[in-house]
Structure 1
Amino acid sequence: MNHWQLLSLTPDADERSIKRAYARLLKTHRPDENPDEFQRLREAYEASLAEARWRAQADEEVVEAPIAVSAPTPECPQPAEVSPLAIPLERLDITPAISPPEPSMGQMQQWLAEGKDRQLVDALRVWMASDWLIPFERRQQFEQSVLDWLESAPQWSPAFFDGVCKVMGWDEAQGTLPCEYWRWDRLIRRCEVQAMEETVRGDLARFDADKIHGQAAALLLKPMSDHRRRGMADYFTGLDWQRFTQLAQTIECQYPEVPQRLGLQPLDNWRDWLPASSYRGVYLFLWLTLSALVVSSLLAVPAKRNGLASVVILPLMMPVLMWFGMKAYQFWAMVAVAAGRLDVLLSRWLLPRRWYRQGAGLLVLRHILPSAVPAALACAWSGNVPWLRWVSPVVVFLGTIYFTNSALSGGKVSLGARALRAIKLKVGRLPWHMLKREGILVLMAVAAMAVWIHLHLKAVV
């Protein structure tokens, strides 16, 4: 394959066509990736360029030569025909000087600092199409200059960076990068951070405009009072909580610098604000403790010890009673939400900080007062056992508050759950899901109450 075939040109191609073909093939035959292919391309380019320049020079000499030609003499013999490929390239380099295109590089750098993205992209397009950048070394130096501009510029948009990459021919998928991967990854991350900042800024602006859109970003980042944040969270839908969780996790794990760039401070306890996934610990505790209390009160009275049917039926009827209690609590919760400002104020004054958690944890009207209802039932169902009448309301009240607080912990993983997970990994696939923290504590409470009942019955007999 000769040098014309390597450039995909005909032997009569002019100098401009040769330069265009060389610039086109240079994109796929880079010296840092294929040095052998680049060397053959460079040799073909120089040979074709030399032949085209020789042909152009020969045409000019034929036009300007005189008509009379003296015959050769022994003193002045006729010069032999010289092949154009035998002429050194330095003697054939008659290319006129090419000046850099306009605008200048200093002007383009100033446009980048001023945020004139469109003018800069158009200027880069002019430079990339000019003959000034045909030499590989000059083109590489120009790309490094543009790369340095991007790294030192204080701010630019991801859309602008994408436009620059298209004009400069930078494409990570094709491996045509102007720098090392670590520098390129830093630019890509800067684009991602800028895009995330623009997204959050837009959500906050929409929230300021109508108070409807962008509530997830506002709950996480907007500075507001506890009762206002509590009131906003009470009316969140499942989709709102999904957006809130995704945004909080993205900022916490991937882009922690975004709040600082916005001049805002995110919630440090955003997981506490997540709605409770399940109240099964509360229901299981109340069912077991109240059932055990009813059975013990029946067995404590000698006249009722033979009523084994009641001992079996009453615990089975307890879920029905709890269902009615749950419906009553839902009504009470609506009342507590309406009085949210007062509830937050009382809770901040009366409850410990680790329970209150800036309005995301336990509240007096919403959680503490309803916990007194099963405690009152425990006191009423204790029968004539004096110590049980005093102990059972305290156990039921504190247990209900404890399990309610655990359910309101949101996305936090308790120490007991982590311990059980570790045991499952060590022991194997055993039914450890039945021994969660709630179940263990409930069983302990029931066992303690059973011991007390046994000792009491023994003393009576």
Structure 2
Amino acid sequence: MDCWSVLGAPQDADEREIKRSYARQLKRVRPDADAEAFQRLREAYERALQLARWRTTEAVGEVQQPAADNLRQWSDLVELAPSPLPSHEPMPVLAPVLRSLQYGLDADNLPQRWRQAQEQDCTEPFLKHLLAICCDAPGRHLALIEWAVANLDWLTPWQRPSMTALQEGVLVQGLLQQYRRVLEELLVAGRERPFLERLGGYCAQPWLQIFDHRQSWQGEVLELLHQQSWQAPVFEGVCQLFGWDEKRGVTPEPDWMWRALAERYQQEAFYQKLEADAANNADTTPQAAAARLFLTPPSRRHQVALARHFESEHWQACLELSHTLASRFPALVERLPHHDLLFWRSLVPRLLSVDNWIRCSLGSGLALGLYFMPKPGYSPELALMLGLVCSAMLGVLGILLLSNWQQLIGHLLLPDLWLTERLVPKRLNPRCYWLILRHGVPQLVMLALFGFWLGLLGMLGYLGFTLIGWLHSGRIGQANPRFHARHPWLGALHWNHFSPWQPVYLLLMVVLVRACQVHGLGFPLTRLIPG
């Protein structure tokens, strides 16, 4: 496939049409998506430019030649042909001197040879020879080209000697590729300050102030930044050197590559701020504490130590940071020690829920009522009333005990997490919210109380009711926040907090316990102590 087919341009296209076709193709072919296709497009673009410039040069020569032949024919017709000028023999010293100046020309002897050419009055042929060898193999004579650019104003309006568009394109492309290789080596090595200094030196050269040359140079730097990794200050420095500013509408082409770099810059700037906040131990703000927690190595000991004194605003900062990373900068997740952005939820203290304790108190009252019913002298109404009074007293005592338990278990969070991760299946506890010691010990106490009051059926009733509520996510309707705010105690007992299977199971167990008590089926069904 030739270069014109790759570019999608006609074979007689000029330089402007070729550049427009190249810009159109860049919107479809991206180096990050298909590197080989992008390389073929780039080579086709350079080849097409060379052919267009060569065609322009040939066309100029063809136009001039017929004019000279036509003038000679008219001069012959009117017998005004100029008489031949007398031939002059060349100076015998010029050819040997010029050959000596041209032989073995390299970057080391070029300044001296140039001075000698000026002294011998043969600067024009010497410069033409210099231009010829530079255009013939620009890769081998980059040092010669750089010297000529610096000392002879090459690639500027004041260049000597004059050169064709093809020659100028060859020299420009060779220099730009050399500059890019130097900058790429610095960027890969992580030498950001030398990179910006060298880039600033290149941009200050007179030949890169020419509009076309500067546009080509900006394209090379843009591609380099798109292909390599860098820190946010590098992008800021490049934008400052080239004057790129999206607010003022000054952005390079192609636009999709600029957009991708701008997004990468925002990502890098955010990550650097995150690192700075994490490294500044003197900063006690919730955002800095969240940054330290997210960038801490995945060690439970360090995580627990950092989160030990977190308050509600610190956990809110963790939630906001997780949301920002997931929605705006998902690529940064791979660079974090924790790929799970919600890892911190396992460290959040599970405070005492008043609603859950109200339900436990009511369940305890029902269990105590059933416990007192078979006792002699207790009617069912008196037994239930006595059970509710005793459960209220147990509820107050339980709140005091659980408050102290929460403070005590906070110092054992590390072994609690270790046990939970190894004993509880991940599918049942995906965010590690329920902990073995923090929640398991109070549940075992409640289970023991129900067993003491109602035997194995009491334990089975409490355990089954709890497991149904935990495993079955369906609920009877939706909670009413206004009603719950006005009547917190009644709101905690509202039927929409329970699974539809829980009241059915509870009724079944109450009937079963009462039937066993009536028929005298005691140990071990309704009591654990025989007799």
Answering whether residue 501 of structure 2 is matched by residue 448 of structure 1, we say: no
Distance 1:443 1:401 in 2: 13
Question: Compared with structure 1, are the counterparts of its residues 204 and 238 closer, same or farther at alpha carbon in structure 2 (3 Å cutoff)?
Answer: same
Distance 2:305 2:414 in 1: 8
Relative contact order (alpha carbons < 8 A, sep ≥ 6): 1 or 2 greater? 1
Which of 208, 225, 248 is equivalent to 1:150? 225
Which of 346, 354, 364 is equivalent to 2:426? 354
Q: 1:286: how far off?
A: 0.9
Answering whether residue 451 of structure 2 is matched by residue 379 of structure 1, we say: yes
CA contact (8 A) 1:226 1:359 kept: no
Distance 1:160 1:191 in 2: 9
Distance 2:468 2:399 in 1: 18
> What is the aligned-residue identity percentage?
19
TM-score for both structures, normalised by structure 2: 0.50
- Specify the code of the residue in structure 1 equivalent to 2:503: L
- Specify the code of the residue in structure 2 equivalent to 1:330: S
- 2:458 equivalent in structure 1: 392
Which aligned pairs between 1:313-392 and structure 2 lie closer than 5 A? 314-315=387-388, 318-319=391-392, 321-340=394-413, 343=416, 351-354=423-426, 360-380=432-452, 382=453, 388-392=454-458
Distance 2:390 2:351 in 1: 26
Which aligned pairs between 1:207-246 and structure 2 lie closer than 5 A? 215-226=289-300, 229-246=303-320
CA contact (8 A) 1:294 1:314 kept: yes
Cα shift readout 1:112-151 (whole Å, capped 9, x = no counterpart): 6242254256447635xx585454x444323322312322
CA contact (8 A) 2:315 2:348 kept: yes
Q: Give the gaps of 5 or more residues in structure 1.
A: 1-31, 33-93, 383-387, 407-413, 422-430
CA contact (8 A) 2:196 2:238 kept: no
Question: Compared with structure 1, are the counterparts of its residues 313 and 217 closer, same or farther at alpha carbon in structure 2 (3 Å cutoff)?
Answer: same
Distance 1:109 1:332 in 2: 66
Q: 1:445: how far off?
A: 4.2
| SS of residue in 2 equivalent to 1:304 | coil
- 1:52 equivalent in structure 2: none
Q: 1:317: how far off?
A: 6.8
Question: Compared with structure 1, are the counterparts of its residues 373 and 289 closer, same or farther at alpha carbon in structure 2 (3 Å cutoff)?
Answer: same
Which aligned pairs between 1:303-318 and structure 2 lie closer than 5 A? 303-305=377-379, 307-308=381-382, 311-312=384-385, 314-315=387-388, 318=391
Q: 1:194: how far off?
A: 1.6
Cα shift readout 1:244-277 (whole Å, capped 9, x = no counterpart): 2233333344434325346x34347614444447
| SS of residue in 2 equivalent to 1:303 | coil
Which aligned pairs between 1:131-210 and structure 2 lie closer than 5 A? 133-135=209-211, 137-155=212-230, 157-206=231-280
| SS of residue in 2 equivalent to 1:290 | helix
Question: Compared with structure 1, are the counterparts of its residues 147 and 399 closer, same or farther at alpha carbon in structure 2 (3 Å cutoff)?
Answer: same
Q: 1:241: how far off?
A: 1.8
Q: Give the gaps of 5 or more residues in structure 2.
A: 1-23, 25-155, 161-167, 479-490, 521-531
Distance 1:123 1:203 in 2: 34
Question: Compared with structure 1, are the counterparts of its residues 334 and 97 closer, same or farther at alpha carbon in structure 2 (3 Å cutoff)?
Answer: same
- Specify the code of the residue in structure 1 equivalent to 2:325: I
Question: Compared with structure 1, are the counterparts of its residues 255 and 110 closer, same or farther at alpha carbon in structure 2 (3 Å cutoff)?
Answer: same
Q: 1:290: how far off?
A: 1.5
TM-score for both structures, normalised by structure 1: 0.56
CA contact (8 A) 2:301 2:414 kept: yes
Cα shift readout 1:17-59 (whole Å, capped 9, x = no counterpart): xxxxxxxxxxxxxxx9xxxxxxxxxxxxxxxxxxxxxxxxxxx
CA contact (8 A) 2:226 2:261 kept: yes
Distance 2:216 2:232 in 1: 24
CA contact (8 A) 2:219 2:252 kept: yes
